[in-house]
Amino acid sequence: MAHSTRRSLRLGSGAGYSGDRIEPALELAELGDIDYLIFECLAERTIALAQQAKAKDPGTGFDPLLEARMRAILPTCIEKGIRIVTNMGAANPIAAARATAAIAAKLGLRLKVAAVIGDDVVDVIRSGRYVFEESGSPVASVGDSLISANAYLGVAPICEALATGAQVVITGRAGDPALFMAPLVHEFGWSMDDWTRLGQGVVVGHLLECAGQITGGYFADPGRKDVPDLARLGFPIGEVSSDGDVVITKVGSAGGCVTEQTCKEQLLYEIHDPRQYFQPDVVADFSEVRVEEIAPDRVRVTGGSGASASGLLKVSVGYVDGYLGEGQISYAGGGATARARLALEIVRERLRLTSVQTSELRFDLIGVDSLHGPSLSAEHCEPYEVRLRVAGRSDTLAEATRIGNEVETLYTNGPAGGGGATKSAREIIAVQSVLLRRELVTPSVVVIESRP
């Protein structure tokens, strides 16, 4: 951490999830005057799916869009000296680093890529007596269905990777805010027991990690909360000073907006007790955070703090949890809801008569009660069209497939006027959390260089 002379840094957020738009990241690299471009692409379940892919082919298991993103941004980032930090390594950061180096080589560019590994703790979890945090049931109860177990790493191994001089750092599972905090700790030389700065660092990371969700994405409500040019939504930039204060902004010509309202919504997104937001390196406290619009599309956010981290790391455990079978069909016009309800009762009866084996079943009328159930929707008026949805959980793919079949047969056997039937069946990959003692997780860094 030799660079403690930096007074401020500009962090760009290049993706809010694995499938996110790519052009806004390139726009940040070209026009954002940023020092770092950070991509958070790893949802809870994604890493279990990636682990399954890696088991079939050891060269895969990283983010499916990694190569497309790198091809788009590497030339500009290398030309401008913008460093990249991302968790697109998913279940295989080393293969992701190799793929990135290969893209650079093909473009004729020299590039040093560092992979952070050691989040994969499936052997530790498999051999120990661990209990799922939320359900309280033992991990051992899922038996051979266990797919993956990945610990949320903190900033230390990412800083170690940055200290190698690598321009691109690729991790697997890490705390999402840690991807943004690591450049701050590395460049500003923050101490790892400076709980106030680390807590404010979590605020910075949390605000930026969902990309467009703070620049007007997932916010618009016409007539009340209008957002300009959402089709060209810009992704956020955090201008962070060495004490952690941040101004959230965007490229001036990009669509979207940054306001106190967009910042408040994102600050509280996925937060429980605002005084205790548990992260690998600090328990952050958001309760004294203030947001202040200092100019159009410029909002200053200050006041985050924190307390010492617990000795435990959260581990996401992925396992196969049966199969989901589903069928849908639509009804329209007068009496649509009544015909859909009749159809629903027919399917319910058919699943019973034909002994389809399910552990859980769900019947929805899309357009009526599928999102919030019958009580909240009761007083709302009759829709023009209704879509019946039946979903169920079974132990086998064959049983799950029968659920959708019983919806499809409504065509010739059900109420009048059903249309647009669809059916599907798929494996359910469930994820639950386990807490693991920090010293049982031993991350390390592997450096790979491109040879053009």
Positions in the binding site for another protein (CB under 8 A): 44-45, 133-134, 218-219, 221, 223-225, 261, 264-274, 286-291, 303, 321, 324, 360-362, 364, 366, 370-376, 389, 391-393, 428-433
- Minimum CB–partner distance for residue 371 and another protein (Å): 5
The CB-of-317 to another protein minimum distance in angstroms stands at 11
CB closer to another protein out of 210 and 254: 210
Between CA 348 and CA 344 the distance in angstroms is 6
* Least distance to another protein, CB of residue 360, Å: 6
- Least distance (Å) between residue 365 CB and another protein: 11
Contact present, 323 and 394 (Cβ < 8 Å): yes
What is the largest distance, in Å, between two alpha-carbon atoms of the chain? 75
Q: Which pair of structure tokens corresponds to residue 439?
A: 């010293």
Q: Taking the complex as a whole, how short is the minimal distance between the CB of residue 269 and another protein, in angstroms?
A: 5
When the beta carbons of 23 and 270 are compared against another protein, the nearer one is 270
Nearer to another protein, 104 or 267 (CB): 267
Nearer to another protein, 274 or 417 (CB): 274
DSSP for 235-249, please give it: PPEEEEETTS-EEEE
User: How far, in Å, CA of 195 to CA of 22, rounded?
Assistant: 34
Residue with Cβ nearer another protein (101 or 267): 267
Q: How far, in whole angstroms, is CA 295 from its chain's centroid?
A: 30
The CA distance from 162 to 233, in Å, is 30
> What tokens appear for 226 in the block?
């209008």
| Shortest spacing between CB 424 and another protein, in angstroms | 13
Backbone angles phi, psi at 363, to 5 degrees: -120, 120
Question: What single DSSP character describes residue 234?
Answer: P
| H-state helical runs in 176-328 | 176-188, 195-208, 260-267
We find the least distance from the C-beta atom of residue 405 to another protein, in angstroms, to be: 17
What's the CA gap between 35 and 126, in Å, rounded? 41
Burial of 359 (0-12, 13-18, 19+ CB in 10 A): exposed
For residues 6 and 45, which CB has a smaller minimum distance to another protein in the complex? 45
205/135 Cα distance (integer angstroms): 29
Q: Which is nearer to another protein, 56 or 224 (CB)?
A: 224
